[in-house]
Amino acid sequence: MREVSERLKEWVAMWNSYDLDQVETLFLIDPRVTYFSSEFEGVISGMKAVRDHHRRFGFVPGGKVSENRLWLEDVRETMLDQVTVVTAIWQFRRATGESMRGPATFVYVMDRGEYRLAHLNFGNYGRAA
Nearest Cα residue to 119 out of 31, 3, 60, 15? 31
Q: Determine the pLDDT at residue 1.
A: 52
Q: Determine the pLDDT at residue 127.
A: 63
Q: Per-domain residue ranges for the chain?
A: 4-58+66-124
CATH says 4-58+66-124 is which class? alpha beta
Q: What is the mean pLDDT of the chain?
A: 92
Q: Determine the pLDDT at residue 128.
A: 57
Q: Which residues of the chain have pLDDT under 50?
A: none
109: left (phi over 0), alpha (psi -120 to 50) or beta: beta
> To the nearest 5 percent, what fractions of the chain are helix, strand and coil?
25, 45, 30
